[in-house]
Amino acid sequence: MQIPAELRERFARARRVLVLTGAGVSAESGVPTFRGGGNSAVWRGMPFDVISSAEMVERDLPAVWEWFDYRRNLLAELNPNPAHYEIARWQERFAEFTLVTQNVDGLHQKAGSRKMIELHGNIWRARCTACDTAYSMVQERRPDACFECGDLLRPDVVLFGEMLPPGAFELAAACASQCELCFVVGTSALVYPAAALPEIAKAAGAYVVEVNPERTPLSSLCDEVLTGKAGEVLPLFQR
Ligand SMILES: NC(=O)c1ccc[n+]([C@@H]2O[C@H](COP(=O)([O-])OP(=O)(O)OC[C@H]3O[C@@H](n4cnc5c(N)ncnc54)[C@H](O)[C@@H]3O)[C@@H](O)[C@H]2O)c1
Ligand SMILES: [Zn+2]
């Protein structure tokens, strides 16, 4: 595959770029995508959307932690792939660069991306159920309780039945409405409101590019569809 000349030109002169990523950007790192089996997982007889729900945090927080500790342990072994590294390079390359991710796996950070809008939180953070203080679990082990108020901690991840973090979508939407070039990488574009971001960008005049081995409901809206794996397609922009 080659990057089409028009896109290459736009990429070379763009100042404001937004990238939206989904589970597909981590597929080549070994993280199962949602549709690729990630959502059919069962933990102790409970389907994914039951154990990862707001209701379960109320009912059985230790079970939720067991499930998230287990997932963090699996993720600890995995590494970023060339797509994560390429996206990390783009933060230096453009005057204004916004990374918006639906992923919770922390692989963008591991690849060197410093600033991003995490629409669904991060599996490497815990947060106090009472005062919202956040705790990183990248280097540290998980605290038993909040150091500020002593209350219970929960995963800092958006669970089924929960709202997005306050302000996260609004900020992403504002960036989308100002970007010139918008990349949609590895998302099935079925989960709203994330899927609205490329629509906002397009409506505001941005050139929208999809990177995905399969067509999605967004493909027809895009100015360019790069059919392929993120880890193979994105590094082509270096050349
Ligand atoms: N890594 C993670 O953190 C992770 C993993 C699974 C699910 N989730 C959550 O599940 C929800 C599902 O939505 P979604 O759209 O992110 O994922 P999704 O599973 O619905 O869609 C994944 C998309 O990635 C594409 N894809 C597969 N391999 C690819 C590759 N190598 N390169 C590029 N694209 C590839 C698929 O064709 C599909 O369109 C999200 O809300 C997300 O928070 C996160
Ligand atoms: Zn607290």
Per-residue pLDDT tens over the stretch 133-150: 999 999 999 999 999 999
Taking residues 27-33, what's their average pLDDT?
Answer: 90
- From 1, 33, 164, 216, the mutation candidate for ligand 1 (largest count of ligand atoms within 8 A of CB) is 33
Taking residues 178-201, what's their average pLDDT?
Answer: 94
Question: What residue owns the CA closest to ligand 1's atom 3?
Answer: 103
For 107-130, how does the pLDDT look when each residue is reduced to its tens digit (9 = 90+)? 999 999 999 999 999 999 999 999
**Is 120 annotated in the active site?**
yes
**C-alpha dihedral sign at 177, 179, 182, 188:** negative
pLDDT for the residue 32: 80
User: Nearest bound ligand to CA 217?
Assistant: 1
pLDDT for the residue 129: 97
**C-alpha dihedral sign at 189, 193, 197, 199:** positive
Catalytic residue among 120, 125, 127, 229, which?
Answer: 120
pLDDT for the residue 229: 98
152 Cα to the center of ligand 2, angstroms: 7
Q: Which of 117, 118, 152 is nearest to 135 (CA)?
A: 152
Phi, psi of 167 (to 5 degrees): 85, -15
In this predicted structure, the answer to whether residue 183 has a pLDDT above a threshold of 70 is: yes
| Residues within a 6 A CB radius of ligand 1 | 22-24, 26-28, 31, 33-35, 38, 102-105, 120, 186-188, 190-191, 211-214, 216, 229-230
**DSSP letter (8 states) at residue 217:** T
Strand ranges for 115-186 from DSSP E: 117-118, 121-128, 134-136, 153-157, 181-185
- From 20, 28, 31, 34, the mutation candidate for ligand 1 (largest count of ligand atoms within 8 A of CB) is 34
Taking residues 60-73, what's their average pLDDT?
Answer: 94
CA angle 166/92/137 to nearest 5° reads 45
